[in-house]
Amino acid sequence: MTQASYYRPIVQTDRHRPNGALTLAGGWSWFTHVEKLSRGAPPEVIPAALVPEAELRNFVAPRGLICGLAMDKPRIMGILNTTPDSFSDGGLHSGFDSAVARGFDMAAKGADIFDIGGESTRPGAAFVPAEDEIARTVPVIAALRAGGFDLPISIDTRKSEVAEAALTAGASMFNDVTAFCYDPKSADVAASHNVSVCLMHAQGDPKTMQDDPCYDDVLLDVYDHLAERVAYAENHGIARGQIVVDVGIGFGKTIEHNLALIRGMSLFHGLGCVILLGVSRKGFIGVIGNAPEAAERGAGSIALGLEALRQGVQILRVHDIQDTKQAIALWQATL
């Protein structure tokens, strides 16, 4: 699904907004000009009025509710890995009691969505059978719901049978790092439960994705892939208003690929979907910021998250909920 031209809003948040400026995605930022991009041609800055009507409509239309949450303010998705080998918190919450307690702790600290996964997707991670994923995640979801936990719960999996079990137990979102490419039944499972979905771009699988990632143009290649996956989801009965897209930072990408995607993040508003950014504690932050231990990368994670919010990204997927919430509050106070 390659386009002839692509349009990236040049996003601003300054309070001195000129007449005629357009609000981006019903949110907190605005734009008057866009960067027009084409494969094999230099970029060109043009007035927003010259953008084709269909693309412009996607830029300005307010986004739908995700898990019942309005997307007119930044949202925090808290991460819980119930795995022994996740890159940042592997083993910390792999026990049942610890995982349940962590869920309530995230809610108390201000998370908007709770994302639970039972298979590590760190570079080099091994495959986990569906029955093991279910055993790691579904009892936690059921216990949280039985205990009165009322945050939306997202199940982070690429397997339809895991999603089916989690959604039946009380999850309200299907977060698939393969954008429904891995399991042909996944889109139908999501549609049958009428839940929000997150479609992420990944090149390769966790075992091999960082061996030698290569793109013609990473920004446009990722956009084309996500456009195709959004269309696929719609064709399976999932409304665009229920779809979140994620560029997949670190999933088959070099440091330069990651930075190019973050710089150009506003391009993805052209899909007409909510955008999620997941950079929390990832390895490239440690390389650039001289932080070899994952737990030391909170500041770098927040810095990138605030840049994403400046570009209108609606959801940040993070480990450090309380620090991120504080940073967002201070950032919002300056707008």
Nearest CA to 311 among 15, 20, 28? 28
Q: Where are the beta strands (DSSP E) in 158-249?
A: 173-176, 196-200, 243-246
Separation of alpha carbons 282 and 88, rounded Å: 8
CA 319 to chain centre: 13
- Listing DSSP states for 73-111 in one string gives S-EEEEEEE--S--TTTTTTT-SHHHHHHHHHHHHHHT-
Q: Which candidate in 158, 253, 282, 297 is catalytic? A: 282
Residue 170, judged by CB atoms within 10 A of its CB (0-12, 13-18, 19+), counts as middle
Residue 289, judged by CB atoms within 10 A of its CB (0-12, 13-18, 19+), counts as middle
Does residue 122 have an active-site annotation?
Answer: no
Does residue 317 have an active-site annotation?
Answer: yes
224 dihedral zone (left: phi>0; alpha: psi -120 to 50; beta): alpha
CA 65 to chain centre: 15
Contact 203, 251 (CB under 8 A): yes
Separation of alpha carbons 92 and 104, rounded Å: 15
Nearest CA to 230 among 214, 246, 216, 217? 246
Contact 166, 137 (CB under 8 A): yes
DSSP character at residue 22: E
Residues belonging to the active site: 282, 317
